[in-house]
Amino acid sequence: MKHIYKAGTKKDAPTLLLLHGTGGNEHDLLSIASMIDDRANVLSVRGNVLENGMPRFFKRLAMGVLDQEDLALRTKELHDYLNKAATEYGFDRSNVVAVGYSNGANIAANLVMTEANSLAGAILYHPMIPNPDAQIPDISKLPVFIGAGKNDQMVPYEESKGLKKMLEDHGAEVAMHVEPYGHQLTDSEVDASKQWYDKNFN
């Protein structure tokens, strides 16, 4: 997978796995990663699927309708790639925290919901429920941050709320930050995720 890897300066800090939104690329969330933890390793990945020339992490059939078959395939692909990258770059595979926005947040959520022990935590900005029928593994005590917009036209607030409940029902410890805005990622949302991260990983 096309990616950027930057080694961090703090040995026991997590590796931040950056997952962009539709039409983005591996450069999009680098500044966010610096705000969250400028001493962590960073692995920023570009989605392998193109939709009208725009990179994504998996296909969709229509707006808000995900291609479940492709989602499963691409989630497994990302999981396998993480294992490979950990060997290649020498980071701790058991200490990876995803930072995903929109489409990137959805594949990160699906990683948590389908691959056991795939992540040490996740920051999900504006996610939906990617896979309502997921056979969720043991995610008890897994720290997850969800950022949502009350007036999000792309991902209804109820979807993000539903994901929170689904993860909590399987034991995850989910913090949710809600903005009165739409689908855009705001400074205050990033600030809230940094405070959550510091509490859980610093």
CA-CA distance, 113 to 135, in Å (whole number)?
Answer: 7
Contact 40, 14 (CB under 8 A): yes
Annotated catalytic residue: which of 152, 160, 177, 193? 152
Q: Say if CB 99 and CB 19 are below 8 A apart.
A: yes
Mean pLDDT, the chain, as a whole number? 96
The conformation of residue 128, written as its DSSP 8-state character, comes to -
pLDDT band at 169 (very low <50, low <70, confident <90, very high): very high
- Average pLDDT in the 114-119 region? 96
Q: Over the stretch 36-64, which tens digit does the pLDDT of each residue have?
A: 999 999 999 999 999 999 999 999 998 88
- Active-site option among 3, 79, 170, 183: 183
For 140, counting Cβ atoms within 10 Å of its Cβ (0-12 exposed, 13-18 middle, 19+ buried), the class is exposed
Give CA–CA dist 119/48, Å, rounded. Answer: 20
Quick one: which of 114, 122, 101 has its CA closest to 173? 122
Amino acid identity of residue 197, one-letter, is Y
Reported as a pLDDT band with limits 50, 70 and 90, residue 30 is very high
The rounded distance, in Å, linking the Cα atoms of 174 and 178 is 13
pLDDT at 177: 98
To the query of whether residue 152 is one of the catalytic residues in this protein, the response is yes
Q: What value does the mean pLDDT take over residues 109-136?
A: 96
Active-site choice (20, 44, 102, 160): 102
pLDDT, tens digit, 9 for 90 and up, residues 123-166: 999 999 999 999 999 999 999 999 999 999 999 999 999 999 99
126 annotated active-site: no
Please list, in sequence order, all residues whose beta carbon lies within 8 angstroms of the beta carbon of residue 188, skipping any fewer than 6 positions away.
179
CA–CA separation, 132 vs 175, rounded Å?
20
Distances from the Cα of 54 to the Cα of 25, 50, 126, angstroms: 9, 5, 19
